[in-house]
Structure 1
């Protein structure tokens, strides 16, 4: 009897283990719920559809499935006049949760007005969402959110090398997502709608490449591309430019923490940054370019001006030969107070084990964000949107190694703009972002079209927060309004031809 009982227990345990290791996402699924939200004082009734849609290979076989959430305003009679905003986050390997639950969507995190986590966790209405002017689609690339690679007809997953070639690289990512969007737009009757892409961080590389890929391989033309906290999108910023472009960000962070001289500290941030930007372009880049052959007295003069604009000492700047790494800045600025700065948002402060060293132990802003985002997205999808699954929601998924070769996304965005006179680009960046700093974003915008012939279709907006500038409530309102105006202005009047 004991042997039989033991056997049954073993069988039960094995059965549970087998079940747990074979949890799979459905290749095709969707749940639609209905809601309402008040935006800028007006009530918007909308539907929320969340589910999965396959990625097909050239043989028409489903090789992966992408999880998405699609918000659509109710009672819209003519979809040809209703814009569609397609949203991606970055990483690579990050889910679309960040902008979904904190920026453009109808529901946002329960956080305080500066973006810090509070309990109880959860979500609340977003009174500034752009859902009043555009439907919104949030897409999770392969291995992020609930999106996964699918087994083949033999019940096996592709090898890691095969998966990388299919999904995990600059160009592979763009190609399969463009095909997936073609399917989505067709299924949901959005071919006639004005279409916009928005990407954050690495998502800016993604949407820059998608603008060209959609036009040239799917023949889907866009009205706008929005780059939030952009990467270099393949536009080089090496050497002296890379080193000098950090300085205005240093200025912003030091100003926020009241570490500048009284003369600069009493000025408004915009005034201080204007001075720092001119110094970086007119003096710092040429000085660093001279390297070891820069005259010692000139090196000392430049270091003193850098100290004035960064809050660091002239001595440590000289010791770094005018090339101060961001990680050293995060450790050094408030070292005497025993505090470190956040990387993605330098308003956030951390505490290290030791005050010595040249970089922080951890990133306080990221731990703060995961603190509030993770419980919110898991609860929101399962409870409010009624999407039930045992699959883990990957805030960050396994996508590495990522193939970064042949990154021509910036040039491809320029070419897409040249081919499409309707296409406009907006860059949004936070002044306190030390990972993809705002002055690099400006520089990339300046270099995107060296001819200057399309600069009237390129615009920049800066905010007094970090990488996810929308976490600060004042910037949530301002950035959404900037986005709302960009969408409306990028739609030409009826009958206006796309020509030069």
Structure 2
């Protein structure tokens, strides 16, 4: 339930140059500075404060929503960027300093934070069909979110530059902020200013990211904890994690994706009844575990041997691969025992003239024709995007009272295509930020990691995540792995949402374990 109080409140947040000026892209020429000075005077960031009540986790709570812009500035007071965020602060607690704060973002790169906001963490959520059918057209149910984490922690949803309402200002370009390192620096500076502004520097601090947001979280922890102005993090929540991109980039000579994606193919074949009756009787998790063991042992060794594989072993691997993927041995012959996720999405249900989803392989789609190599589009993407897009627009304008009329970027392809994948100035063929989490743990004894995996996720497959966490110097005694019978956004499935919320609540309370 939302009250009608709406209090416009405007102010400019100055930003320290200590972090931002570490990159040459933020240095202005004299002429640019003079030109931008005019722009500075006209910028009046809108911040709207509203008061609300809600029932969350069987508790009635009062909270304040603060929605609006933070202007990042350089040392001369010239604007760099406007970052839009929505903060939820509980107002019926006696001592807020003992209350955690959780900074939340999605991925892409190029995505706004609406998915975790309107699907899991926020006080309102949009309801989409949980049975992997299309969301259709408006109206969509927007309901009070009993699973919100607002009873456990204050929540800050961040839209990085180029997403949501966030944008570069003055002579700066969005590309100045689009990169693994550039992005982490700007978000770290936003967080530093937020902690100062709200007097929460000594509060417990958590990060929560989804998809590329998990990559961002690792790079952000490194940025926050890597210097003497240390912002130590208590916990990181990785939802549909991807930290080492060698597990997701198909290229001749790189066999990691074929190994990492296989158990997801097994889960998908099981769901769509493409496995034998004997395997079906095993149950989903037992069948997945059998696929894990095959993938990391016989299959991995066979891929490593390449054309040195003898005929009998090749035939055995092909038979087992057919068992776990639901594909014919004839097809597996033609692809040399290597099935990419994109091919699999088109091939598994080709006999039914159907495709399966990438974000969630429970979804089925229909292409223009059934003869192609790849799907026309992702049915698990267009199956939910209408609802989430409508929900965030309706919510920020009606419930929060935002008056901005510039476009809200749900997912920007411009940001995605313009992303700088170099890490700290070093060119990396495959980005791997997992060692940053290992180092962060070694330098912070309290840092814990929560990982949520969807069995039907072809964007960030769970076994690839397991393989990443088996290496990279990560202390797995401080890592909790969780699995859900859903896809990339596992919270769209009702049972998975309830379990995920329960698991995250436990993560906030390690003392109770």
TM-score > 0.5 by shorter chain: yes
Deviation string 1:228-284 (CA, Å, 9 cap, x unpaired) is: 111134676772222111110000111111111111112221111111101101111
Match of 1:295 among 293, 300, 310: 310
Contact 2:224/2:232, CA 8 A, preserved across alignment: yes
Match of 2:193 among 183, 187, 190: 183
Q: Tell which deviates more after alignment, 240-249 or 113-122.
A: 113-122
Contact 1:339/1:349, CA 8 A, preserved across alignment: yes
**Structure-1 separation of matches of 2:432 and 2:323:** 37
Cα displacement (A) at 1:490? 7.2
**Structure-2 separation of matches of 1:235 and 1:187:** 40
Deviation string 1:436-462 (CA, Å, 9 cap, x unpaired) is: 111111111212326xxx221012111
Match for residue 259 of structure 1?
A: 274
**Structure-2 separation of matches of 1:48 and 1:233:** 36
**Structure-2 separation of matches of 1:43 and 1:136:** 17
Change (3 A) 1:491 1:267: closer
**Structure-1 separation of matches of 2:459 and 2:246:** 16
Match of 2:495 among 474, 477, 480: 474
Match of 1:204 among 214, 225, 244: 214
TM-score (norm 2): 0.86
SS state of the match for residue 211, structure 1?
helix
TM-score (norm 1): 0.88
Match for residue 359 of structure 1?
A: 374
**Structure-1 separation of matches of 2:185 and 2:247:** 23
**Does 2:154 match 1:135?**
yes
Match for residue 360 of structure 2?
A: 345
Contact 1:223/1:491, CA 8 A, preserved across alignment: no
Match for residue 179 of structure 2?
A: 169
Unaligned runs of 5+ in 1: 1-21, 152-156, 493-500
* Pairs aligned (count): 458
Cα displacement (A) at 1:192? 1.3
Cα displacement (A) at 1:108? 0.3
Match for residue 202 of structure 2?
A: 192
**Structure-2 separation of matches of 1:360 and 1:483:** 35
Change (3 A) 1:82 1:419: same
**Structure-2 separation of matches of 1:56 and 1:199:** 25
SS state of the match for residue 102, structure 1?
helix
**Structure-2 separation of matches of 1:53 and 1:443:** 38
Match of 2:142 among 112, 115, 123: 123
Match of 2:93 among 63, 73, 76: 76
**Does 2:353 match 1:335?**
no
**CA-atom RMSD in angstroms:** 2.0
SS state of the match for residue 324, structure 1?
coil
1:141-152 map, 5 Å: 141-151=160-170
Change (3 A) 1:249 1:423: same
**Structure-1 separation of matches of 2:247 and 2:266:** 23
SS state of the match for residue 101, structure 1?
helix
Cα displacement (A) at 1:25? 10
SS state of the match for residue 353, structure 1?
coil
Match for residue 242 of structure 1?
A: 257
SS state of the match for residue 63, structure 2?
strand
SS state of the match for residue 157, structure 2?
strand
Contact 1:300/1:318, CA 8 A, preserved across alignment: no
Change (3 A) 1:216 1:301: same
1:427-446 map, 5 Å: 427-446=451-470
